[in-house]
Structures are given as C-alpha cells and as structure tokens.
Amino acid sequence: MPDLAPWLRTSLADLIDQYRVNTLPHALLLVGHPGHGGTLLTDALVAKLLCRADLPQACDDCKACRLHRAGNHPDFVRVQPEGKGQTIRVDAIRAINRKVAETAQQGGNKVIRLEQAEKMNSNAANALLKVLEEPSDGTFILLESSSLGRTLPTIRSRCRLVTLAEPTTNEALAMLVQGDFAFEPAIALGIAQGKPYAALAVTAEQIEQWSECERRFLHPSGFSQLSQFIHRTALDATLKQLMLWVDTAVRRQLSEHGKVVPVTDELIELLMKQPAQSLFDFRDYIVGQLGSINRQSNLNTQLMGEALAARWLDLRGTE
C-alpha cells in the first residue's frame, strides 16, 4: 500500500485511536476528493478495522490481513457505482444489509465500504437507512464522497462527518518532487486542478498540450487559427486551464501572491491589465460553458470553440 500523504496522517491516527478506545462510530462519511489521497486513508482504515492484532495500524501479517490483501476477506464488502449511469442501486445495498445481519466469519469486525456515496439513488439510500440507524455489533460502514452537497441529507444525518484535509500547493508539489515525478510537477498539478494523486496520472502529451495552449492564447495568429486549435483540443480541459489563468490574474490584482501556479508571467501580466469586471465576466462565461459540458446538453463543440476564441480575443483587445 502506498504511503499515506502527510496531510492525512493526523486524521487517520485520530480515527484509529477512536477505534482502539471503542469510541469510533459505526458509520462514517468521509468527504474528500480521491485526488487528494482520501482513498488511501480509507484503505488504511479498512485494513485496521479488519486486522486482529492490537497495534496502531494493520499488522499486514495476521490471517485477516492476508485475506484482505488477497481480496478474499469474507467480512468485507466493497460497493461501487455501476452501469452506464454510474449509480449505486438498491440491489447493492440489499447485499450490504444481508451481510450486516450475518455473524462475522472471521470472528472480528464486518466492514462495509461504500464509494461515491453521492451516487446512491433514493431507493438505495432508503434501503441503507435501517442499517445506519440500527447497526449490528462489530459493524463499521465507511461511506466516501467527493461532494457533501450531493450526498442525500438522510444519509448525512446518520453518519459522523469526517472532512479530509487537502494539501497546500507546496505540499502537493513536494509529494510529486519527492516521488521523482517524471514531468513538470507544477504543470501536472495545474492540469489536475491541484490534486497530487490525480497529477500522477498526467502524461507527457498532456504537459505538451498545456504548454501549447499557453502559446496559442498568448500569441494568437487570428480568430480562425485560434478557433481551429481549440476545436482540436479537449474543450473542458482548455476551459479549466483558462479558468486558472483568470483566477490567478484576479488574485494578483488583489495583491495576493505566494501561491505557485503553472502559468507564465507574460500571460498573467496580460490578463492583469484587463479591468476586473471583464475578468469576472469572462470567468462567468467559462463556468457556464463547463456547466453545459457536464450536462451534455446538445453540444456543438465547434461553435463553442469559435465562441471561446471570439471571447478571448475580445477580452485581450485583439481584432
């Protein structure tokens, strides 16, 4: 198992301490993005709850640990979204309910891990309520969510909320540098929107695309060339990159320095010359476009790319 990120170690130690003194609640809602390392924290907590040794962490050697490592522990259930809509359905929750009602086969705890809890439909959530309200002894239910607001209130109210820490930019960069990340760490982090574990999956092609996008927008050859370039790229990635540029320029206008961002000074200086209202209007436009992409509502990416090129040239005052 990879080492847990430094910004999450205190949270894990606190949860394990609660378990060792019998104060850990039976249901936890762990809120944090997987790209910040929350998945690894849950991995470590599950391993400890299944382990039969009385140690500060899973011993990785007892029979329970060996079974879990091999993916064969009979008292552990992992539920993930499935199907085209990536939804947690009621049948999966009914399987949890049956497992909770059984006696632990290994004589220890029963552990349920429910990933992306915000993707439970209402029927699944209703089926889970009884287990959350009337748990059996030695049962722990760990729900993970990257969006507390999208997690049903009936579920939130029956769990102890654990909000996982996020890394600072310097902490995230340090993790990539210490791990001998092969590419430009700052750019990879920008592509991953500040999430270091997501940055680990960034490719050399994405790095080059990021740099080319800066060059094309900083020195556009004209509307046709810029719109053609946008059309050849992943539009959502381009919009998110522009969002970072705008947000950085606004912070600099407000004299907020110190945060390391993978944007050239020339590009930021160009944007800082624009009125703040123009930057906010352009940002609102980007948010709207990203919302349309997320909803997949009758998209015409060519027209969206042409509109983006026109808005950008208008913002920077280029005819």
Q: How confident is the model at residue 85 (pLDDT cuts 50, 70, 90)?
A: confident
CA gap 93, 97 in Å, rounded: 6
3-state secondary structure at position 251: helix
> Is 80 exceeded by the pLDDT of residue 296?
no
H/E segment holding residue 78: strand 76-79
CA gap 117, 30 in Å, rounded: 10
Average pLDDT over the chain reads 89
Find where tokens 């929107």 sit.
193
> What is the tens place of the pLDDT at every residue in 34-71?
899 999 999 999 999 999 999 999 999 999 999 999 99
Q: Are 99 and 112 in contact, with CB atoms under 8 Å apart?
A: yes
What is the reported pLDDT for 1? 46
What is the reported pLDDT for 319? 40
Q: Are 286 and 242 in contact, with CB atoms under 8 Å apart?
A: yes
Between the CA of residue 236 and those of 117, 145, 288, what are the distances in Å? 25, 23, 11
DSSP alpha helices (H): ranges in 21-147?
A: 38-50, 63-69, 90-101, 122-133
What is the reported pLDDT for 274? 92
Q: What is the mean pLDDT of residues 196-218?
A: 91
Of 279, 263, 261, nearest to 271 by C-alpha is 279
* Percentage above 90 pLDDT, the chain: 55
Of 110, 118, 185, 116, nearest to 151 by C-alpha is 118
What is the reported pLDDT for 144? 95
Q: What is the mean pLDDT of residues 202-228?
A: 92
Least confident interval from 89-93, 254-258, 273-277 = 254-258
Dihedral-angle region of residue 191 (phi above 0 means left; psi in -120 to 50 means alpha; beta otherwise) = alpha
Half-sphere exposure of 161 (CA within 13 A, CB side): 14
Put simply, whether the predicted model's pTM sits higher than 0.85 gets the answer: no
> Is 80 exceeded by the pLDDT of residue 117?
yes
- Running DSSP on this structure, what letter comes out for residue 309? H
CA gap 105, 128 in Å, rounded: 22
Q: Phi then psi for 165, rounded to 5 degrees?
A: -65, 150
* Percentage above 70 pLDDT, the chain: 96
What are the residues whose beta carbons fall under 8 Å from the beta carbon of 219, sequence distance 6 or more?
none
H/E segment holding residue 111: strand 110-114
